[in-house]
Amino acid sequence: MRQKFVLDTTAITDTGMREREGYDNICQSADYIMDLIADARLKLDITCYIPYPTVYTELVSFLKRYKCPENVFLKLDTWLIKKTPNRIEVMIPSAIFYEYVLTMRQRINKGRRIAEEFIWESSVISSKADSKNVEREIGNLIAKFRDKYRSALRQDVLDSSPDIDVLLLAKELDASVVSSDAGIRRWAEMMGLRFVEASKFPSMLKEYLSRKEKE
């Protein structure tokens, strides 16, 4: 059966993949993986999709930030199939929707408890009228709060439209998901979708191609 993959932004930008393949910067690794995708398309009829415009725009913006050369963007437009998921007709089991709502409610409650904890701590700091370092201590506390709050609400959670589009398109196409995002991984598994870790995707393509060359 012909292989199909739906790529998240991290499928191209993942740091682990870049280190694993031995490249110094993101532009080099992006160019490298696009060459692999091109070879897989021509030699094995493997197709790689990217949700459009959400994930595509996110990926292009990311690569432009690092001032990647024009040929990288040309390869993106040539070898990645841009497709908008059919958000109307793709059917998601009600159990998934129920689990998502339950998860978000638990995360919101956890976030509230974290906020309450830091409010109490900040009030103790503020009560130190003789302290000359109140402003600095409050600033450090806010930084700690942001990190803890972000971890509580966003870890393993779908928190953006690109994340959801990756799953919807993979469901629509009966394709594998390629990502390093823990939230996408968790929900891909719940939806019964095959998941490929972004850091291992180039190695997988190279294995496919090496087997083809031995035939």
**Residue that terminates a domain, selected from 154, 185, 203:** 154
Residue with tokens 């992006």: 30
Predicted local confidence at residue 132, as pLDDT: 61
Judgement on whether residues 139 and 192 belong to the same structural domain of the protein? no
Secondary structure (DSSP) of 84-124: ---TTT----HHHHHHHHHHHHHHHHHHHHHHHHHHHHHHH
Same domain for 19 and 83?
A: yes
Select from 131, 154, 177 the last residue of a domain: 154
CATH number at residue 68: 3.40.50.1010
- Look at residue 91 in the predicted model and tell me its pLDDT: 87
Residues 8 and 40 in one domain: yes
- Report the pLDDT value the prediction gives residue 145, as an integer from 0 to 100: 81
85 with 168, same domain?
A: yes
Query: Total domain count for the chain?
Result: 2
Phi first, then psi, for residue 5 (nearest 5°) are: -130, 140
Give the mean pLDDT per block of 10 residues along the chain (215 residues). Answer: 91 92 93 97 96 97 96 98 95 83 82 83 69 72 80 71 95 96 91 95 95 81
- Structure confidence at residue 188 (pLDDT): 94
* Same domain, yes or no: 82 and 101: no
Both 81 and 171 in one domain: the answer is yes
Please choose, from the candidates 6, 43, 2, the residue with its C-alpha nearest in 3D space to the C-alpha of residue 172: 6
- Final residue of a structural domain among 154, 173, 204: 154
- Clarify whether residues 148 and 172 are in a common domain: no
Query: Chain centroid to CA 108: how far?
Result: 21
Which pLDDT score is estimated for 1?
A: 57
What is the pLDDT, as a whole number, of residue 130?
55
Sign of the C-alpha dihedral computed for residues 80, 83, 89 and 95 taken in this order: positive
Question: Do residues 185 and 195 touch, judged by C-beta distance below 8 A?
Answer: yes
H or E element: which one contains 214?
helix 201-214
pLDDT at site 212: 84
pTM for this predicted structure = 0.81
- In this prediction, residue 3 carries a pLDDT of 92
| Angstrom distance (rounded) from CA 90 to CA 152 | 30
Domain span including residue 45: 4-90+162-214
Cα distance between residue 118 and residue 36, in whole Å? 48
How far, CA to CA in Å, does 169 sit from each of 37, 63, 88, 89, 194? 18, 23, 12, 11, 13
